[in-house]
Chain A
Amino acid sequence: SKCWAGRGWHNHTKENAWVQGLFQDLISKENLDMSKFPVERIRNFSIVAHIDHGKSTLADRLLEITGAIAKTASNKQVLDKLQVERERGITVKAQTASLFYQHDGQTYLLNLIDTPGHVDFSYEVSRSISACQGVLLIVDANQGIQAQTVANFYLAFEAQLTIIPVINKIDLKNADPERVEKQIEKVFDIPKEECIRISAKLGTNVDQVLQEVVKRIPPPTARVDDLFKALVFDSTFDHYRGVVANIALFGGRVSRGDKIVSAHLGKSYEVNELGLLRPDEHPTETLYAGQVGYVIAGMKEVKEAQIGDTLYLHKQPVEALPGFKPAKSMVFAGMYPMDQSEYTALRSAVEKLMLNDSSVTVQKDSSLALGAGWRLGFLGLLHMEVFNQRLEQEYNASVIVTAPTVPYKAVLASAKLIKEHGEEVITIINPAQFPDKSQVVKYLEPMVMGTIIAPDDFTGKIMTLCQSRRAVQKNMFYIDEHRVMIKYIFPLNEIVVDFYDQLKSMSSGYASFDYEDAGYEAADLIKMDFLLNGRPVEELATIVHKDKAYSAGKAICERLKESIPRQMFEIAVQAAIGSKIIARETIKAYRKNVLAKCYGGDVTRKMKLLKKQAEGKKKLRRIGNIDVPKDAFINVLKRK
């Protein structure tokens, strides 16, 4: 559905015996001495690309060429471990692999830091980029530049990294590398001579890519004589060994048995194990300046290996690296067990999932209709869907998810209120807690800068769609004769549910979309309540822009009417602002629902049907005396 990302390969654990390259055998036999790789012969780089432009296939080839994995027919992006990653074709976590590459009679250490592609996970991309000096920017020779290509380019450009454009899939029948080179020249101002044309699938020119990595990307500027200083750019959690932190050494060296300190917490740890990721863990004695690897140091909780933290040697403090802004939750939703008896099991499942996804925020919540649950914060809607899917698939949990909302802000009006809340500007992540207009000076809503790239035949339709989402056009630009790139400022809540689906379907799949944070803007917001037979249902409350209140109220009432099955009594579905009803739909009562005849020969069939209906009833949530299907809460926000 909403996948902009590409598949990635993964860190393997011991069971993958087939990942045994010849080179690796050789290196393990000679007991890898990392001091043989001074910074001059180290290159740290990432591959970034729009979804399906071939990032993972190129990574597979690079691993094969350098002997990190054996060359087999099965190296086809098969390394995604999670069901959700395989199904959706996305990588959720960044991965790292160290490659040994022979060039001009020298062995180079190339550290490839793979990144997830989806916009929801771009914080992972920026983290990976901070450990690199260059990127390979992959562009599909047929599709050309897409929205995510642009986003990735700017991330790398702003980090002042060397960018090597790679045009992939030149073996395809409709490949037009020349056109793509022109796009790259025009949009990114990179001379077309710098592009490398490859086919990752067939291996064409892949060796040239490695040569250019060595030639064009500068070595890291770290010095081995400096004090040890390392950036934690990722971490994973292992139930047996605790936290495994991925680090990039910005100076000095670190060895097994060293005492290291986390700059963030000031806690010290002893290094139990460290080494390279190839992509399997490959223990070594020491890691040196400029190198990238993993470290296990008795950290028991994910929080102890804060991503962006700086590590240094005990009693040899250094100035901490700038680190990262923590991942910011953009979408919030309530999550409740289908049945309260499943609360404990669901809590344990949520906790387990969060161990490896520190970007999810959680707080307890409870609702009159749905009981005890949580309000979870996600980086985006895909992130939320992935999380839910993993809960259902990996933990067999059945959950009700309420309509997602974005973090609104309110500037409080009185000193009393400010004192009460402890701050002047409050963030509202649950529409039920939206403060009344009388209490605030103004409301603020989160904005994003959206980039859309599409064939120009669709420009008119896209502009209409964006206008209906309260977007303001910032610029429009032809990237070649037929493709246009349009930038819009959107209120985040307008794109959060179904914008991308609509954009895709109206452009027959040709439009791509990406967005980045663009701060907050004042907006005329109101809280709209929804009532079922006169009772407000807190979980359905939603924040809308004043200008859209009537149309949104009407649309949501209509959608509720479609989602809620007919019952034995009439149900009034109403939208209200304050005490004013602004829209109403009626779900008519059944006037008759009985099978005409039922004699001896009909009993078996009749019982079967009724028991099926009884089972179906268990999947409905009762609000007051009304049976509501569990997906009604999230369906209400989807537009037709």
Chain B
Amino acid sequence: MSRQTLLTQQHALQCLGTALGFVLLRSIATTHRLPPQADEASLYVHWPYCLKRCSYCNFNKYIPRNQNHAVMTACLQRETQTLLQLSQVSRISSVFFGGGTPSLAQPSTIAAVLETVSKHAHLSDEAEVTLEVNPTPAGKASLKDFTLAGVNRFSVGIQSLNDDHLRTLGRDHDSQHALWTVSEARTLCPGRVSVDVMFALPGQSVKSWESELEKLLPVCDDHVSLYQLTLERGTQLFKQVDSGELSVPGDDVTAVMYNSARGVLEKAGFRQYEVSNFAKNNAVSEHNIGYWKGRQYIGVGPGAHGRFVLRAVGGVQREARTQTLEPDVWIREVQRHGHGTRRRIQLDHHGLLEEVLVMGLRMNEGITQQHWKLFSPEDDLQQIFGMSEKVQEFQAGGLLKLNNRGLRCSWEGLALLDSILPTMLLELEMFFKKDCTQGNA
């Protein structure tokens, strides 16, 4: 038995998604073309813990009673190593520590993970290493140590500069803490600090939102992420709105809020490069652009997602992988098997193109011909979408642009993307169906 087959079998047995291992084996036999850029990936590391629960958040996070940093560090390192080896990438292009509240992790943990990365792949000194930061006094105090550990970009979750709103959201900071933290982060990483702000908050008006933005502009750095509050089922805020205790602005108001924010930010020199991301001086997030450009990424930590080819076991298709959610279970699995992958789904050619389409159209520049060609060497954008009546309608309505450069949304179209995408997916599906029947005929 060759070493290669042995590895394959071992992995198939280890994999908790049982039968999927066999799917993998089968796919080896049927396709041969490797998805592009399989030699490199970005790395996402999930820190699942928070000090307290925010009223709007249903994300994968845990309020630990006592935390064993050493065990967590060891497991993150172990899983990083396993997944890097499985992917056999030679280069990690960027690292992002998200959460939860990763600024609650010890700087030594961050350093240890980065060290592991460097041991198994090339991680350039210039590579973007981002850490999400909660703007609490404690978070602010450790920023310097994080930079020493290797972090060179901060994403600060200030959410709002209005203390009433911060209380409603259940945040553990106030606007003053936010300003201090941003200022400290800017000192440490000038030009590489992002702030998250939220709109459509309970009780917020268009006017109060605009004045909040005006207050933010002078203090923020070169990057802003803009999120609309979404009410998730099961959260405290959902219940409060559902019961009528709080009320959030309606669709028409949030539309005005979004568009006015885009206007205000653009006037201040921020270029919108994605649905919810704005940058000055081209200070875009390389890591996030990787997601929208359909590049490989490896997800490490409880509940993290990844998308990469398992080259070590002869994989030829990209896999969508999800790690086990609960930190304690994840820890046990990593200790036992080297990784805590809970779910693996093969992305076939069509599935990958769907993601490239959906993610790519979120960017201001859309999907360039070259970008699409990388994933679809045979069928270009014009062939797939050029003849579609519905795409032509989108173009005539000034929402979509399809030309020699590629496919992208207009300014108006970007705000309506979720209404455009189902149609685009259907067009893609129809093209493949037609292609398939013609191929058989």
Which A residues are within 8 Å of any B CB, using their own CB? 567-569, 588, 590-601, 603-604, 606-607, 610-611, 613-614, 616-618, 625
The answer to whether B255 and A594 touch across the interface, beta carbons within 8 angstroms, is no
B133 located at the interface, meaning its Cβ lies under 8 Å from any Cβ of chain A in the complex: no
Task: Point out the residue from A597, A600, A616 that lies within 8 Å of B297, measured CB to CB.
Answer: A600
A595 vs B416: C-alpha distance when bound (angstroms) = 9
A569 vs B416: C-alpha distance when bound (angstroms) = 11
Q: How many residues of B contact A (CB 8 A)?
A: 51
The answer to whether B418 and A594 touch across the interface, beta carbons within 8 angstroms, is yes
State whether A592 and B423 are in contact (beta carbons under 8 Å apart), knowing that A598-B359, A599-B291, A607-B355 are contacts in the complex: no
B305 located at the interface, meaning its Cβ lies under 8 Å from any Cβ of chain A in the complex: yes
- Name the segment of B27-35, B172-180, B222-230 touching the other chain: B222-230
The answer to whether B305 and A591 touch across the interface, beta carbons within 8 angstroms, is no
The answer to whether A594 and B358 touch across the interface, beta carbons within 8 angstroms, is no
The answer to whether A591 and B251 touch across the interface, beta carbons within 8 angstroms, is yes
The answer to whether A597 and B227 touch across the interface, beta carbons within 8 angstroms, is yes
Question: What is the 8 Å Cβ interface bit string for chain B, positions 205-232, against chain A (1 contact, 0 not)?
Answer: 0000000000000000000011110100
Q: Known pairs A594-B275, A595-B275, A603-B291. 6 more at Cβ < 8 A?
A: A590-B251, A592-B254, A600-B305, A601-B299, A603-B307, A613-B421
B408 located at the interface, meaning its Cβ lies under 8 Å from any Cβ of chain A in the complex: no
Task: Point out the residue from B227, B304, B426 that lies within 8 Å of A618, measured CB to CB.
Answer: B426
29 contacts between A and B (CB under 8 A): A567-B419, A568-B416, A591-B252, A591-B259, A591-B415, A592-B254, A592-B255, A592-B415, A592-B416, A596-B226, A596-B227, A596-B228, A596-B275, A597-B227, A597-B275, A597-B276, A600-B291, A600-B297, A600-B299, A600-B306, A600-B307, A601-B305, A603-B305, A603-B307, A603-B320, A603-B355, A614-B422, A616-B422, A617-B423
B92 located at the interface, meaning its Cβ lies under 8 Å from any Cβ of chain A in the complex: no
B18 located at the interface, meaning its Cβ lies under 8 Å from any Cβ of chain A in the complex: no
B288 located at the interface, meaning its Cβ lies under 8 Å from any Cβ of chain A in the complex: yes
A600 vs B228: C-alpha distance when bound (angstroms) = 18
Query: CB-CB < 8 A to B306: which residues of A?
Result: 600
Query: CB-CB < 8 A to B399: which residues of A?
Result: 568
The answer to whether A592 and B362 touch across the interface, beta carbons within 8 angstroms, is no
A603 vs B292: C-alpha distance when bound (angstroms) = 10
The answer to whether A600 and B422 touch across the interface, beta carbons within 8 angstroms, is no
Query: CB-CB < 8 A to B259: which residues of A?
Result: 591-592
Question: What is the 8 Å Cβ interface bit string for chain B, positions 263-297, against chain A (1 contact, 0 not)?
Answer: 00000000000011000000000001001100001
A604 vs B355: C-alpha distance when bound (angstroms) = 9
State whether A611 and B299 are in contact (beta carbons under 8 Å apart), knowing that A569-B397, A598-B275, A600-B291 are contacts in the complex: no
State whether A596 and B276 are in contact (beta carbons under 8 Å apart), knowing that A568-B419, A590-B416, A590-B419 are contacts in the complex: yes
The answer to whether B225 and A597 touch across the interface, beta carbons within 8 angstroms, is yes
Task: Point out the residue from B251, B303, B320, B397 that lies within 8 Å of A568, measured CB to CB.
Answer: B397
The answer to whether B426 and A617 touch across the interface, beta carbons within 8 angstroms, is yes
B348 located at the interface, meaning its Cβ lies under 8 Å from any Cβ of chain A in the complex: no
Identify the closest chain B residue to A601 (Cβ).
B305
The answer to whether A614 and B426 touch across the interface, beta carbons within 8 angstroms, is yes
A600 to chain B, nearest CB (A): 5
B393 located at the interface, meaning its Cβ lies under 8 Å from any Cβ of chain A in the complex: yes
A616 vs B276: C-alpha distance when bound (angstroms) = 27
Identify the closest chain A residue to B256 (Cβ).
A591
The answer to whether A593 and B418 touch across the interface, beta carbons within 8 angstroms, is yes
Query: CB-CB < 8 A to B419: which residues of A?
Result: 567-568, 590, 593
B414 located at the interface, meaning its Cβ lies under 8 Å from any Cβ of chain A in the complex: yes
